[in-house]
């Protein structure tokens, strides 16, 4: 799973986000990695920061070992948007997002919405899931996103989550690619919804909601004849419910295919972790808990259980920052109470609660 093993265990870090008083847990080097600037145990002071600035090249970066990088990135002194940007760059998510964006913004639908353009992108997305630490990808998915990037980020995220689920289901490479493509294109019909409804910063009226609920039909129309039926029907049926209470067709049970059922889970998960401001973003563990408590209705229970099982495995033994600012390690995530995992901190093991809770995931880097 990990292709990063062969790369040097050093990362670039912007000097501007170092701070006066930080004690180095390992040596740090200039931007080329060739010159040691400060040694392990030394404290960063104002005068040293000036020196570091001089030795950090034009882009003002230094090279630090992984452990220093993780320690710095887990600290509140590095703003969340900087950590987000760096994680997106490092994981390749930023490049994928750019590719999705450039395809989604082509003016003429017929010129871009075809298999020749979309399949390589789906393959690239699948490769990212197979070859990269899933938690890093999951952390990119849960970063807050600006409104205007909503559709393209959601499409990319659902594609990534579909690829993960297809892999957990043990599907073959061709099917994994199809499921990824279905995730990428499931909401493409939203490009036909008027902007003022799509991005309305308020609750939609009944009439607007009816327009919005047509998007799976538009997706179907746009994909029909161009893509595999799995992709087309996943797009049409990703809001259907097994009990027949979904839309647009109100179909139930066996009428909803596997790819649509998987896409429904990815879609809901991404919608639940997504936020338009840092304040509103939800910790993935809390989302898993909500999933367990609230979102079973109408979804394929077997797939939801597989999703929760694998997500819990991904987060077990990962570092978190607790509400008191100290780091801990997740040792166990209860299935029926994922928001309150068992945490080990300095040799003590206890369950998180309302006063002492996980504030942030740390282990973003394999
Ligand atoms: Fe949708």
Query: What is the distance between the alpha carbons of residues 316 and 309, in angstroms, rounded to a whole number?
Result: 11
Average pLDDT per run of 10 along the chain, which is 366 residues long?
53 86 92 90 87 80 88 80 81 88 71 79 87 77 70 92 96 95 94 88 92 96 91 97 96 96 94 62 78 80 93 88 86 91 91 86 56
**Residue 216 pLDDT:** 97
**Residue 286 pLDDT:** 83
In angstroms, what is the span from residue 187 Cα to ligand 1's centroid?
5
In angstroms, what is the span from residue 317 Cα to ligand 1's centroid?
34
Q: Terminal CA-to-CA distance of the chain, rounded, Å?
A: 10
Bridge partner list, 344 = 329, 349
In angstroms, what is the span from residue 97 Cα to ligand 1's centroid?
19
Query: What is the distance between the alpha carbons of residues 365 and 13, in angstroms, rounded to a whole number?
Result: 14
In angstroms, what is the span from residue 336 Cα to ligand 1's centroid?
27
In angstroms, what is the span from residue 9 Cα to ligand 1's centroid?
40
| Token digits of residue 15 | 């000097």
**Residue 164 pLDDT:** 95
**Residue 141 pLDDT:** 82
With contact defined as beta carbons under 8 Å apart, do 251 and 244 qualify? yes
Query: What is the distance between the alpha carbons of residues 100 and 95, in angstroms, rounded to a whole number?
Result: 9
**Residue 278 pLDDT:** 47
In angstroms, what is the span from residue 188 Cα to ligand 1's centroid?
8
């Amino acid at each position: 799973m990990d292709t990063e093993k062969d790369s040097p265990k050093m990362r670039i870090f912007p000097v501007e986000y170092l701070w006066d008083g930080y004690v180095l847990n390992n040596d740090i080097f200039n931007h080329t990695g060739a010159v040691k600037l400060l040694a392990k145990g030394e404290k960063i002071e104002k005068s040293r920061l000036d020196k570091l600035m001089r030795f950090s090249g034009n882009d003002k970066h230094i090279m630090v070992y992984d452990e220093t990088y993780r320690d710095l990135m887990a600290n509140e002194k590095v703003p969340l948007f900087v950590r987000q940007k760096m994680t997106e760059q490092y994981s390749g998510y930023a490049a994928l997002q750019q590719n999705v964006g450039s395809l989604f913004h082509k003016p003429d639908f017929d010129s871009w919405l075809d298999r020749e353009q979309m399949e390589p992108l789906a393959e690239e997305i699948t490769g990212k899931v197979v070859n990269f630490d899933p938690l890093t990808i999951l952390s990119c998915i849960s970063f807050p996103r600006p409104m205007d990037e909503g559709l393209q980020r959601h499409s990319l995220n659902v594609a990534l989550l579909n690829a993960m689920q297809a892999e957990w289901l043990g599907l073959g490479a061709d099917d994994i690619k199809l499921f990824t493509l279905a995730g990428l294109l499931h909401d493409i019909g939203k490009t036909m919804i008027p902007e003022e409804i799509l991005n309305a910063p308020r609750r939609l009226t009944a009439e607007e909601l009816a327009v919005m609920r047509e998007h799976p039909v538009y997706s179907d129309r746009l994909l029909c004849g161009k893509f595999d039926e799995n992709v087309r029907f996943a797009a049409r049926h990703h809001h259907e419910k097994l009990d027949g209470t979904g839309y647009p067709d109100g179909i139930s049970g066996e009428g909803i295919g596997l790819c649509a059922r998987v896409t429904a889970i990815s879609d809901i998960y991404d919608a639940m972790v997504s936020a338009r401001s840092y304040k509103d973003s939800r910790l993935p563990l809390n989302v898993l808990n909500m999933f367990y408590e609230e979102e079973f209705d109408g979804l394929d229970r077997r797939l939801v259980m597989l999703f929760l099982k694998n997500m819990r495995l991904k987060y077990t033994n990962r570092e978190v920052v607790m509400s008191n600012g100290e780091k801990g390690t997740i040792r166990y995530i209860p299935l029926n109470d994922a928001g309150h995992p068992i945490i080990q901190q300095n040799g003590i093991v206890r369950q998180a609660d309302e006063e002492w809770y996980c504030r942030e995931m740390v282990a973003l880097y394999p």
